[in-house]
Amino acid sequence: MMTPEEFRQALAARGVELSDHQMQQFADYYEYLVAVNEHVNLTAITQKDEVYLKHFYDSLIPALTVKDLQTEALTLCDVGAGAGFPSIPMKIAFPNLKVTIVDSLNKRIRFLNDLSERLGLEEVEFHHGRAEEFAGKKSKHRESYDVVTARAVARLSVLSEYCLPLARVGGRFIALKAQKSEQELEDAEYAIESLGGKLVDDAVFHLPETDDVRHIITIEKIRQTPKKYPRKAGTPAKMPLEKPRA
């Protein structure tokens, strides 16, 4: 899989140099994740070499595609981050990012709060709530972020309704997909267009060692999201915004 040193070397080969302090933050992240995971279900992956590859390295792939994540003081909202992926590894590697995480489970938010204090992270905030409410028409968070991310949360047509309302016009929604069928992207076209987005990139990566396929789907927010979206909590998942099939 991937040892911490191999993790560092793989990133260096991509032009991302981690300091000793950053490497220690990743080490502390791993230790705390595994400790808390014994009594709070955060991840099924707990072997160190797997966590470094399938969580830490995997979380940094968007910044290998969208290069300004590495250098600009962008506001980033991570929807349904779970144990902090991809936004916390990105924040460790690229402290320039201002990170907001929203997750529907309070126990995960508590873990992330404690984690950020342990790691000494600044300009991070955590919100317990449903994405549909967090992005609602009266929410101060609506259409306010440069970048919105989501990793393996739901189908792209559903994710778009969670995430695009949070992106500012001119901002981006970046979906991390382990595998993406052409059908899923095709099914999401109607939702993306309805919510004010435009597909600009579908970059394919292969994880080192395992050669697992990763898709980084970048959608630009080209106009405001109609106020009727997102629909009430639970509706996007039950009735995705997909064009009726003939």
Q: In sequence order, what are the residues at sequence separation of 6 or more whose Cβ sits closer than 8 angstroms to the Cβ of residue 183?
A: none
DSSP string, the chain: ---HHHHHHHHHHTT-PPPHHHHHHHHHHHHHHHHHHTTS---S--SHHHHIIIIIIHHHHHHHHSGGGGTS--EEEEET-TTTTTHHHHHHH-TT-EEEEEES-HHHHHHHHHHHHHHT--SEEEEES-HHHHTSTT-TTTT-EEEEEEESSS-HHHHHHHHGGGEEEEEEEEEEESS--HHHHHHHHHHHHHTTEEEEEEEEEE-TTT--EEEEEEEEE-SPPPTT-S-STTHHHHS---PPP-
155 annotated ligand-binding residue = no
Question: Would the annotation count 80 as a binding residue?
Answer: yes
85 is in an annotated binding site: yes
233 is in an annotated binding site: no
126 annotated as a binding-site residue? no
Angle at 71 between CA 141 and CA 121, to 5 degrees: 60
Q: Which residues sit in the known binding site?
A: 80, 85, 131-132, 151
Binding-site sequence positions for S-adenosyl-L-methionine: 80, 85, 131-132, 151
